[in-house]
């Protein structure tokens, strides 16, 4: 999550990484899912509260960075954007290369 912020992406992340909300919801590209650790119960509980969560969904605050995340591509979910003016930006749907934490 902090890496996304460091890159200047407008992620809401309102709880600051405590897994107490789902405002850092991202979609992970299929090629990057296998190296990630499985989500724990608290993350699954938060994801269950999101209407557009699917098999690619993760909370960015729960993805630990390391060699396994090199080149990881994610897309910010609609509800995770901090600035409403970017919700209709066509580039929002592009995957963002880089690690996430």
| Single pTM value for the model | 0.81
- At 2-25, the pLDDT tens digits run 888 888 889 999 999 999 999 999
Could you report how far apart the first and last alpha carbons of the chain are, in Å? 5
Judged on CB neighbours under 10 Å (0-12, 13-18, 19+), 46 is: buried
For 6, residues 6+ apart whose C-beta sits below 8 A from its C-beta are: none
Domain 2-84 has CATH 3.10.20.30: yes
Six-digit token string for 68? 């396994």
pLDDT digits (tens, 9 = 90+) for 41-79: 999 999 999 999 999 999 999 999 889 888 899 999 988
Count of Cβ atoms closer than 10 Å to residue 36 Cβ: 16
Residue 84: exposure state from Cβ atoms within 10 A (0-12, 13-18, ≥19)? exposed
The residue extents of the domains of the chain are: 2-84
**Contact, 53 vs 33, CB < 8 A?**
no
């Amino acid at each position: 999550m902090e890496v996304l912020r460091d890159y200047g992406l407008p992620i809401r992340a309102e709880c600051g990484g405590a897994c107490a909300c789902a405002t850092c919801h991202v979609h992970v590209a299929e090629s990057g899912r296998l190296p990630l650790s499985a989500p724990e119960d608290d993350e699954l509980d938060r994801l269950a509260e999101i209407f557009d969560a699917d098999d690619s969904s993760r909370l960015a605050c729960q993805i630990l960075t390391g060699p396994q995340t090199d080149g990881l591509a994610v897309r910010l979910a609609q509800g995770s954007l901090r600035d409403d003016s970017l919700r209709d930006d066509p580039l929002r749907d592009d995957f963002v290369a880089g690690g996430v934490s």
